[in-house]
Structure 1
């Protein structure tokens, strides 16, 4: 699927989460997402960027604007070299928390977007990719 534009943002401190939120919102507006869909993808991105910082020790967020036929999309990839997630199914389950964040957890973030994938290896890090389609 063709990538129209991309940008990589570092997440090393709290203020970087705000930058991720602003960039995701800007791109969601550009592909003409409804206000509800903008809020969903920005909320998911905010939760995942916070997790990246708190649990992954920081990392990078890659934003991509997609075009597939007539529909546009925003794909956001969160990648760290942190401790990894030992039990992905548990981490995705409702009610699972490791103590902070907005309380959405990975499962909540997953429900806010159209596509969600997670890869994690203990001791090597985690990559989570979300996509919101218009």
Structure 2
């Protein structure tokens, strides 16, 4: 996997930058408008979580190939407080910020592959992949 782009998430503008970068890479890879929007939305949600909860983190975008398949990997990495109950945050409707609670379950639905690792006091790493059809 080669790292294509990297955006540090410090301000709200960084969320916009990460989203735009993801959409642009998705477009270059040949994703259609609907999948570009899905990818951009997932990136926006992951970056927003970093901004709200972790204060310090990044969105890494990588192109991945697996046999004949090609895709875009979105990796959200932070040094935040970590998630103590991953099962709970993956429930539809759960929100710790008073938001809609579409967050991580929404990202999982928008993307093809999804994994989350978190350690309390150390941070969180979320990897989401969208495969080109």
> Cα 1:107–1:7, aligned 2, differ >3 Å: closer, same or farther?
same
Partner deviation per Cα, 1:47-67 (whole Å, 9 max, x = no partner):
010001111112111110122
Q: Distance in 2 between matches of 1:9 and 1:101?
A: 24
Q: Which has the higher mean CA deviation after the structures are superposed, 71-80 or 92-101? A: 92-101
| SS at 1:55 equivalent | helix
Quick check: 2:81–2:123 contact (8 Å CA) kept in 1? Answer: yes
> Aligned pair 1:122/2:120, yes or no?
yes
> Aligned pair 1:106/2:72, yes or no?
no
Q: Residue 91 of structure 1 aligns with which residue?
A: 89
TM score, norm. by length of structure 1: 0.92
Q: Distance in 2 between matches of 1:15 and 1:78?
A: 16
Gaps of 5+ in 1: none
| SS at 1:97 equivalent | coil
> Aligned pair 1:24/2:46, yes or no?
no
Q: Which has the higher mean CA deviation after the structures are superposed, 50-59 or 84-93? A: 50-59
Q: Distance in 2 between matches of 1:84 and 1:113?
A: 22
1:15-54 paired onto structure 2 within 5 Å? 15-54=13-52
State the aligned residue count: 132
Match of 1:75 among 73, 89, 96: 73
TM score, norm. by length of structure 2: 0.92
Q: Distance in 1 between matches of 2:128 and 2:28?
A: 17
| SS at 1:29 equivalent | helix
Gaps of 5+ in 2: none
